[in-house]
Amino acid sequence: MFDIIVKGGTLPDGTVADIGLRDGLIAAIGDLAGAGAGRVFDASGDLVSPPFVDPHFHMDATLSYGKPRVNASGTLLEGIALWGELKEIVTIEEMVARGLRYCDWAASTGLLAIRSHVDTCDDRLLGVQAMLELREQVKDYIDLQLVAFPQDGLYRDPTARANTLRALDMGVEVVGGIPHFERTMTDGAASVRDLCETAAERGLMIDLHCDETDDPASRHVETLAYEVTRLGLQGRAAGSHLTSMHSMDNYYVSKLLPLMAEAGLSAIPNPLINITIQGRHDTFPKRRGLTRVKEMQAHGITVGWGQDCVLDPWYPLGTADMLDVAFMGLHVAQMTHPDEMRRCFDMVTTENARILNLPDYGLHVGARGSLVVLDAGDPVEALRLRPARLCVISNGRIVSEAPRGDSRLSIPHRPATVRRRHDPGM
């Protein structure tokens, strides 16, 4: 007897199977005909995936767009200044409320694990208090992993270092930083070393906003790879953004990529934001500002798409849907081969889970009973249509259901009787 059976779904690898969930875990995968369950969800013809994972977000700022004003220039630096104005007037209650609204929205899209950077440049640490409270309130249905992030610079802001360490003492579990925002390249490199040593001493993961600039001379990723190797942080370190790599000299990058691979350093590009924020100082040709995704993957580096922002000082849009993130990444990185499109789906599910070191993630017996049923036949169709999430299950409990689209179009590789999301392109 199972609590739930998800019947006849197609897994991302093309396998068709029933999935039985019991006591919050995946208890069986295979042919469960005849087995009893409290609820049977018919997923015949539908894609059944492990949950979406976002490895880079700013939960303390989300859903604040327009407060106290909009970002007129659209640049990273005005966004940071605008967030500074908002921090002066924000309250713990407001941040928790915005975060709860976002988490409910995320759950409805099947996004059940989020790594969020939380600003530590505030002597009251209101954002840290709010995000710890939020993490507790959503823990039954969303894994919220917090990064202590000195937004205004570990050294550039006079109390940031002490406050970042305080945040870690309070239970924030990942070390963050922003070396390209320090006053000098030297300070930036020193901050990378300092933060890596903190992560090593405390046995924590590290994820730095790194080289989020169009300046090809911003090479903090080199220092990050070096320190990660020196301190044995392989497999628990990530560089977020890495946009300067877009503009770097190719010869230098040919040396850098093997060093990143040797360090076991993961990369987290954020395509929605990088495509809109980078290149703002260019006339034409305008740089795209996305890091070198396919080249990293060719070197065996784990790369995961991140969302970064939804309706906040840096980005006026956003949907809490990792398929939208992957869709943009696929286009900007020109990952249009079928294998590359499949990889883009993996980048917002299994590969992001690896970056976050999520325990018991995936579709296998003994894994946590979390999955999402999509109104699509396979991962590529899911990317193309970004369809309804018919059922989202978190830790063995259905947390969201949605109706199918209103048309019944025939798709060549799917049964004609399967109801379709409205798709005028077919």
Can you state the angle between helices 322-332 and 338-347, rounded to 10 degrees? Answer: 140
> Least distance to Fe ion from the beta carbon of 41, Å?
36
> Least distance to Fe ion from the beta carbon of 265, Å?
17
Joined tokens for residue 336: 């249009």
The secondary element (H helix, E strand) that includes residue 302 is: none
Which residue lies nearer to Fe ion by CB, 308 or 381?
A: 308
Which residue lies nearer to Fe ion by CB, 152 or 308?
A: 308
What do you get for the CA distance between the two ends of the chain, in Å? 41
> Least distance to Fe ion from the beta carbon of 29, Å?
36
Supply the DSSP string of 136-174, one letter for each residue: HHHTTT-EEEEEEE-TT-TTTSTTHHHHHHHHHHHT--E
Supply the DSSP string of 311-358, one letter for each residue: SBTTBS---S-HHHHHHHHHHHTT--SHHHHHHHHHHTTHHHHHHHT-
Among the listed residues 78, 94, 201, 212, the single catalytic one is: 212
> Least distance to Fe ion from the beta carbon of 338, Å?
31
> Least distance to Fe ion from the beta carbon of 315, Å?
10
Which residue lies nearer to Fe ion by CB, 194 or 308?
A: 308
Ramachandran angles phi, psi of 230, nearest 5°: -60, -40
Ramachandran angles phi, psi of 41, nearest 5°: -105, 120
Residues that bind Fe ion (CB under 5 A): 308
Q: Find tokens 């977000």 and name the residue.
A: 57
Supply the DSSP string of 10-30, one letter for each residue: EPTTS-EEEEEEETTEEEEEE
Cis geometry, peptide bond prior to residue 269 (ω within 30 degrees of 0): no
Cis geometry, peptide bond prior to residue 150 (ω within 30 degrees of 0): no
Q: Which residues contact 109 (CB under 8 A, 6 or more apart)?
A: 52, 319, 320, 321, 322, 323, 389, 392
Which residue lies nearer to Fe ion by CB, 222 or 308?
A: 308
Q: How far is Cα 365 from Cα 271, in angstroms, rounded to an integer?
A: 34
212 has catalytic annotation: yes
> Least distance to Fe ion from the beta carbon of 368, Å?
27
Q: How far is Cα 303 from Cα 285, in angstroms, rounded to an integer?
A: 27
Which residue lies nearer to Fe ion by CB, 119 or 308?
A: 308
Which residue lies nearer to Fe ion by CB, 62 or 400?
A: 62
Taking CB atoms, the residue at the shortest distance from Fe ion is 308
> Least distance to Fe ion from the beta carbon of 42, Å?
40
Q: Is the dihedral of CA 154, 159, 161, 166 positive or negative?
A: negative
Q: Active-site residue numbers?
A: 212
